[in-house]
Amino acid sequence: TARVRVHHLRQAKERGERWAMLTAYDTHSAQVFEEAGIPVLLVGDSAGNVVLGQTSTVAVTVEDILLMTRAVTRSTTRALVVADLPFGSYEASPEQAFATAVRMMKEGGAQAVKLEGGVRVAPQIQLLTQAGIAVMAHIGFTPQSENALGGFRVQGRGAGAEQLLADARAVQEAGAFAVVMEMVPAAIAAQVTAELAIPTIGIGAGPDCDAQVLVWPDMAGMTSGRVPRFVKRYADLRGELLRATQEFATEVRDGTFPTAEHSFD
């Protein structure tokens, strides 16, 4: 069966059908999400935090995303796979963005790329889409700019609403096929969703977006400690993995594992 295409997402919006997106970084998670019917998988630079042990997305490299994109595209047949363009790999010019996006497609096998920013990256989005590349935009709180934005803060409140609307219009106008809105007041996100023809994908952007995305280790309870308000934990994978690991270690120590059943004659 063929992969999900960008026009399927546009049609879903026209029909009022909501869908879920998840991040994916490796073979097993990608397979499970595809089996669950998740139409779009994002190889996000959130990998910096949830895969690579970094404290932000800033250190993530093009090579890091390429490695994980290859794993996800090799492990799936149906999902549309979007590769995040890391910090520093697209901001300088449309040409820089084009060179990075081409690598994500040729070397990573991605069907689309995502980049952060609205009005300020419209020239990048325009060149990429003119070249036949499917581009997902990301506005509101943009984690790669956390140092300039002064930390994890809701964007688009008060006077910020005009900027958010301008960013949303700019990315659609430039040719983006969808737009992530992160940490935006629900009412503003609803207004953007109603105005734009392209699907909006919310994360901390309220219930009225066309789609929702979560970072999968947050969604499945694999991450430890405090999670942002917009995260809902649908499982306790960390607790389950801890239990299994402790049981394995205990059985090895007390000689319960392995038995004849797991041994060769």
Applying CB under 6 A, the span of 42-50, 100-108, 162-170, 242-250 interacting with ligand KIV comes to: 42-50
Least distance (Å) between residue 254 CB and ligand KIV: 41
Residue 45, annotated as binding a ligand: yes
215 binds, among ligand KIV, Na ion, none (CB under 5 to 8 A by kind): ligand KIV
| Dist. CA 148–CA 131, nearest whole Å | 31
Applying CB under 6 A, the span of 43-51, 74-82, 103-111, 250-258 interacting with ligand KIV comes to: 43-51
Residue 46, annotated as binding a ligand: yes
Q: Which is nearer to ligand KIV, 4 or 215 (CB)?
A: 215
| Dist. CA 33–CA 216, nearest whole Å | 9
Q: Strands of the chain (E only): list them.
A: 19-23, 40-43, 80-84, 112-116, 134-140, 178-182, 200-203, 211-214
User: Which residues neighbour 69 within 8 Å (Cβ) at sequence distance 6 or greater?
Assistant: 43, 81, 83, 104, 108, 109, 110
| Dist. CA 265–CA 261, nearest whole Å | 10
- Residues from 71 through 90 that contact Na ion (CB under 5 A): 84
Residue 106, annotated as binding a ligand: no
Applying CB under 5 A, the span of 36-44, 157-165, 185-193, 237-245 interacting with Na ion comes to: 36-44
Catalytic residue among 34, 35, 146, 182: 182
Q: How many residues bind ligand KIV (CB under 6 A)?
A: 11
CB of 215 closer than 8 Å to CB of 50: yes
Q: Which is nearer to Na ion, 45 or 64 (CB)?
A: 45
23 binds, among ligand KIV, Na ion, none (CB under 5 to 8 A by kind): ligand KIV
DSSP 45: T
Handedness of CA 124, 66, 1, 79 (dihedral sign): negative
Tokens of 203: 């994360």
Bridge partner list, 43: 83
Q: Any contact of residue 210 with ligand KIV (CB under 6 A)?
A: no
Q: Provide the binding-site residues for ligand KIV, judged by CB under 6 A.
A: 23, 42, 44-46, 84, 138, 180, 203, 213, 215
Binding-site annotation, residues for 3-methyl-2-oxobutanoate? 45-46, 84, 114
Active-site residue list: 182
